[in-house]
Structures are given as C-alpha cells and as structure tokens.
Amino acid sequence: MEYIENKPEDNATIVTQFLFLGFSELPKVQVFLFWMFSLMYVIILIGNSFIIAIVRIDPALKKPMYFFLANFSFLEISYVSVTLPRILYNLWTQDRRICLLACALQLFFFTVLAATECFLLAAMSYDRYVAICNPLQYPLVMNPTKCTQMAIGSWLGGIQVQIGQTCLVFSLHFCQSNRINHFFCDIPAILKLACGDTSMNEFSVYLVVMGFVAFPFMLILASYSKITATILKLPTATGRTKASSTCSSHLVVVVLMFVSVIINYFWPKSIRSPVTDKILSVLHNCDPHVQLPDIQS
C-alpha cells in the first residue's frame, strides 16, 4: 500500500497506517545506526539474561534485592524488545510503514512496561530502605510472599489503565498527516497527528503520568531521603561506602528513567524539538541494565 499524506481539511480520510520519519534526516548513517542499535540490543539481551541466570542458579542470591533485580532484568529485555526490533527492521529495509493495529499494540506494551518500570524501581527503593534503615526487621518485612506480591503488582498494575489510554488515543481521527516524527509509536508523537482539539487526551496523559510516574517517584525520593540520613549516621567510612554501593546502580536507572519521562511529557513543547525527543527516547530505551551488586552487600 503506497503512502498518501492526508490533507488537514480532509477529515473523512481514514488512516490505516503510519509512516515513521525516524532517522530519515540522516540518510548517510543508516547502516551505522543499524549496527549500533544491533550491538545495543545484543548487549542488553546477553547482559540481562546473564543476570537472570545467575540469580536463579546461585543460592547466595536468594534475597529480595536480587529477586527484584532479576525482575528488572526481564523487564529490560521486554522493554527494548517492544521498540528495537522494529527500529532495526526499518533501518535495514527502509520500509518505515506500520499499520494502525501494530502501532496501537506497540504503544500499549510500551506504556504498560514503562509503568511496570516505575513501580519496580519504587519497590527496589523500598527494599533498600528496609535493608539499610531497618536491617533487623528486613527478613520479616521483605519475606518471599511480600516480594512476590510487590512484583506481581508492579507487572499488572498498569494494564487496565493503559488499555483505556491506548483506546482513547486511537479513537481519534488523524487528518493532519500520517507521518510520525519519531522511531516508534509514542503518545505525544501520535497526538500531533490528530484532528481537532486534543486537550482532553493530553489531560488524560498527564493524569496517567502523575499516577504511574510522579507517585512512584515521590516514594523513591522518600525512601532515599531516609536512606541518606541513615548512611550519614553510620560511624565508619567503610560502612557508609558499603551501604551507598548497594544503591548506586539503582539511582542511575532512576535518574535516566524519570528525567526522560519528565522532559518528554511535562517539558514545554515550545522549547524542545523532535530531535531532543528522539535522543531522550534512545537513552531511555537503551539505558544500561542494572549491574549485579556485590554478593556481600
């Protein structure tokens, strides 16, 4: 099916497919981008699979921290698999079309896994809070049942809301164009193509982001404020260093995750460009997996 750009006034036209602009403005580096993203994908798959295998095999790692780490590694594999294979296909074939259903499914899984990441990061920060601030109660509070419930809640917590969010976005009429100035189906990029007033859709996005991003972020801030206060009270520099090392990798992922989301969804459109959105999305989708901490931590 050939791509036809819709005229703004042609509200009757039904869009059945979109066209990713992606990195089309960089025609000379398409091959380089393909191999760069391929390398990133392989590293993420191998690195996180290795973490999952080690956590399952090594009896010394049967602890809540590593249980959540294995969950997060599986999430990273799932997360990048929603977008990167399609990016690689587009770069290799130069066929940047995607049908409406495939775009909706990509958006749904992307937003569900993004919500899961926020919840898991909050659960991991709570785990570190209990371990550092209440070490004597740690085995009782973070028991296997509690950890399993927190993990299941993180994975399933955003599904119903994101089903509604996806249906709301794709119930719009698209008449401005069907060129998505991005390399995957994301809500802000799709809303730019919609006809008429999208203020209600944008408001619903803000509500969802506040619930699935701002709330976990506040929990993480509260946890780390307590953790920081406790670490500063430790009597020895060795103890402070050891306690801090168990949180460093988690903090790096938290910063990458929440900074990119805040800029993408809350930063004023007038002072950000599509290029900025693409760079942030690359950093977010291809962020380094959490490194396995010291077993003795």
**What is the reported pTM?**
0.83
Q: What confidence tens digit (pLDDT) does each residue in 9-34 have?
A: 444 456 778 888 877 777 778 888 89
Which range in 17-31, 133-147, 166-180 is most confidently predicted, on average pLDDT? 133-147
What Rg, from alpha-carbon coordinates, does the chain have?
21
* pLDDT, average across residues 100-126: 92
Q: How many CB atoms lie within 10 A of CB 119?
A: 22
d(CA 292, CA 249): 9
Q: What confidence tens digit (pLDDT) does each residue in 189-221 have?
A: 888 888 877 888 888 888 888 888 888 888 988
d(CA 206, CA 209): 5
Handedness of CA 202, 204, 207, 209 (dihedral sign): negative
Which residue ranges form the domains of the chain, and what is each CATH number? 17-285 (1.20.1070.10)
